C-alpha cells in the first residue's frame, strides 16, 4: 500500500482524461468567423429585441402622459378634479430652466441629498450589523426585538415633534427622521435574511474547519446579502418619504421645503417641479443601490 503521491502518477487507476470526458463537456464556442458590421448589428438587434421593444413602449407611454397632462391643463378641465390651477408641462419646463440657473434651487436639492446620505448611511451602518448580530445571537435578539417591534409601527412623521425636542438643531432632527425611516426596513430585512440561511451550508463550512467568526463572515453574511439589499432598497424609499415630510414640517431648506414654499407663494409651476425633482432623486438613489448590489453580488447576475 505504499503508492506514491498521485500527482506524479496520473496513469495509475482511472486516467485523468477519462474523468474529464466522463462529465458534461464544456461548450466550446467556435472561433467566430469574421462577420460584416451589418450582420453584427442584425444579430445584436435580434438578441435585444425584447429590451428595445420595452424601451420604445416606455418612451411612448411617458410621452402620452405628458400629452394628457398638457391637454388637461390647457383646457382647464374640471371633472370632479380641478385642473384650473394646475401648471402645464410647458410652464413646469420654463420654471425648471429658470431653476437650474438659480443657485438657491440647487442648494435645496443638495441639502436634501446630504440629509439622505447621512440619514440613510447611518441607518445602514447601524441596521445591517445589528440585524446580523441579532440573527446570530439569540440573547441579543430577545433583548432588542421587543423594543424594535414597539417602535417600528410609529411612522417617521410622528417623530417630528419628538425629534425637534431631542436634537439641538433642525438639521440634526431631520437627519434623525430620515435615519428612522430607513432603519427599520433595513433591520427587518437583514434579520429575515439571517433566518433563511441554509443550515446545511453552515454544516459544510464547519466540516471544512471553519470557526464561528469565519462562518459569520463567509456564510451568514454573504447568504444574507440579497435580503440586506432588499432592505436597503426599501429603506431608501422610506428615507425619501420621511425626509420630505420632515422638510415640509420643520425645514428651512431642502426640496420638500421648496415644494411646500412654492404652494405658499402661489408659484404653482414650482410645486410640480419640486415633485418631479423628488421623483427623479428617489429613482436615482434606488438605481445606485441596485448597481451596488450587482457589484457586491456578482453570483446573482446571470
> Which alpha helices (DSSP H) does the chain contain, by range?
16-22, 37-47, 49-74, 89-100, 103-136, 138-151, 160-166, 170-195, 199-207, 212-215, 221-250, 255-264, 268-296
Rounded Cα–Cα distance for residues 258 and 267 (Å):
11
Figure out which of the listed residues 195, 214, 252, 294 binds other proteins, where binding follows CB under 8 A: 214
CB atoms within 10 A of CB 291: 10
Asked if 205 is part of the footprint of other proteins (rule: CB under 8 A), the reply reads yes
Asked if 201 is part of the footprint of other proteins (rule: CB under 8 A), the reply reads yes
Asked if 219 is part of the footprint of other proteins (rule: CB under 8 A), the reply reads yes
- Give the nearer residue to other proteins in terms of CB position, either 16 or 49: 16
Stretch that binds other proteins, among 14-22, 101-109, 114-122, 274-282 (CB under 8 A): 14-22
Burial 163-182 (b: 16+ CB within 10 A, else e): bbeeeeebbebbbbbbbbbb
Figure out which of the listed residues 11, 22, 31, 81 binds other proteins, where binding follows CB under 8 A: 22
Asked if 21 is part of the footprint of other proteins (rule: CB under 8 A), the reply reads yes
Smallest distance from other proteins to CB 66, Å: 42
Smallest distance from other proteins to CB 48, Å: 22
Which residues have a Cβ under 8 Å from the Cβ of 78 and sit 6 or more positions away?
84
Residue (of 238, 293, 225, 230) closest to 120 by Cα position? 238
Stretch that binds other proteins, among 56-64, 167-175, 221-229, 238-246 (CB under 8 A): 221-229
- Give the nearer residue to other proteins in terms of CB position, either 27 or 150: 27
Asked if 207 is part of the footprint of other proteins (rule: CB under 8 A), the reply reads yes
User: Sign of torsion, CA 42 46 48 53?
Assistant: positive
Asked if 197 is part of the footprint of other proteins (rule: CB under 8 A), the reply reads no
Under DSSP, the state recorded for 220 is I
Asked if 210 is part of the footprint of other proteins (rule: CB under 8 A), the reply reads yes
- Give the nearer residue to other proteins in terms of CB position, either 157 or 223: 223
List the grid coordinates of 183: 432603519
Asked if 50 is part of the footprint of other proteins (rule: CB under 8 A), the reply reads no
Asked if 29 is part of the footprint of other proteins (rule: CB under 8 A), the reply reads no
Residues 241-300 contacting other proteins, CB under 8 A:
297-299
- Give the nearer residue to other proteins in terms of CB position, either 68 or 296: 296
Residue 280 Cα to chain centre, angstroms: 14
List the grid coordinates of 194: 439571517
Q: Which residues bind other proteins (CB under 8 A)?
A: 1-7, 12-14, 16, 19-24, 26, 198, 200-201, 203-211, 214, 218-219, 222-223, 225, 297-299, 302
Amino acid at each position: 500500500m505504499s503508492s506514491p503521491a498521485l500527482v506524479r502518477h496520473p496513469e495509475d487507476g482511472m486516467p485523468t482524461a477519462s474523468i474529464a470526458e466522463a462529465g458534461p463537456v464544456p461548450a466550446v464556442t467556435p472561433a467566430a468567423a469574421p462577420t460584416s458590421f451589418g450582420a453584427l448589428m442584425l444579430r445584436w438587434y435580434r438578441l435585444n429585441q425584447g429590451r428595445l421593444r420595452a424601451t420604445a413602449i416606455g418612451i411612448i407611454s411617458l410621452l402620452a402622459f405628458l400629452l394628457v397632462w398638457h391637454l388637461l391643463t390647457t383646457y382647464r378641465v374640471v371633472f370632479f378634479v380641478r385642473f384650473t390651477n394646475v401648471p402645464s408641462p410647458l410652464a413646469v419646463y420654463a420654471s425648471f430652466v429658470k431653476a437650474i440657473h438659480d443657485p438657491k434651487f440647487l442648494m435645496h436639492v443638495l441639502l436634501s441629498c446630504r440629509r439622505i446620505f447621512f440619514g440613510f448611511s447611518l441607518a445602514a451602518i447601524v441596521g445591517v450589523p445589528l440585524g446580523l448580530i441579532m440573527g446570530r445571537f439569540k440573547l441579543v435578539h430577545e433583548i432588542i426585538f421587543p423594543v424594535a417591534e414597539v417602535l417600528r409601527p410609529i411612522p417617521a412623521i410622528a417623530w417630528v415633534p419628538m425629534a425637534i425636542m431631542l436634537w439641538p438643531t433642525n438639521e440634526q432632527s431631520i437627519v434623525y427622521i430620515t435615519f428612522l425611516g430607513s432603519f427599520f426596513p433595513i433591520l427587518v430585512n437583514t434579520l429575515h435574511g439571517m433566518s433563511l440561511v441554509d443550515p446545511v451550508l453552515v454544516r459544510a463550512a464547519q466540516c471544512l474547519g471553519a470557526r464561528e467568526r469565519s462562518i459569520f463572515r463567509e456564510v451568514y453574511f454573504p447568504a444574507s446579502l440579497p435580503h440586506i439589499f432588499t432592505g436597503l432598497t426599501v429603506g431608501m424609499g422610506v428615507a425619501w418619504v420621511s425626509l420630505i415630510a420632515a422638510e415640509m414640517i420643520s425645514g428651512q431648506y431642502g426640496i420638500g421645503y421648496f415644494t411646500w414654499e412654492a404652494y405658499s407663494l402661489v408659484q404653482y409651476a414650482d410645486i410640480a417641479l419640486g415633485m418631479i425633482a423628488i421623483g427623479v432623486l428617489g429613482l436615482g438613489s434606488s438605481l445606485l443601490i441596485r448597481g451596488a448590489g450587482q457589484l457586491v453580488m456578482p453570483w446573482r447576475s446571470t
